[in-house]
Amino acid sequence: MSLISVELPDADVLSALEQFRYDRISLGRGAELSGTSVEAFMEFAAGHEVPLHYGEEELEEDRRSLQNLLNL
């Protein structure tokens, strides 16, 4: 009889994912609560078919931030 090993995410990661799914926390906060990088949390969310909450408001905020950095 052979055993199959399955790695399951811990409760903190799943909790962060569900909070992010319902837009209760940001992507960055989800990563922080999960103890992972933002990129890793994005991949995890995508793997569980959780869309990124990135609309026009976030785009404009990112554009302003980039412009401020370029003006330094």
49-59 pLDDT tens trace = 999 877 788 78
In a domain, 4, yes or no: no
State yes or no: pLDDT of 6 exceeds 80. Answer: no
Domain count of the chain? 1
In a domain, 26, yes or no: yes
In a domain, 6, yes or no: no
* Coil vs helix vs strand at 71: coil
Domain range enclosing 46? 11-70
In a domain, 27, yes or no: yes
In a domain, 55, yes or no: yes
In a domain, 31, yes or no: yes
In a domain, 1, yes or no: no
CB-based burial label for 31 (10 Å; 0-12, 13-18, 19+): buried
In a domain, 2, yes or no: no
pLDDT at 57: 83
Binned at pLDDT 50, 70 and 90, residue 19 comes out as very high
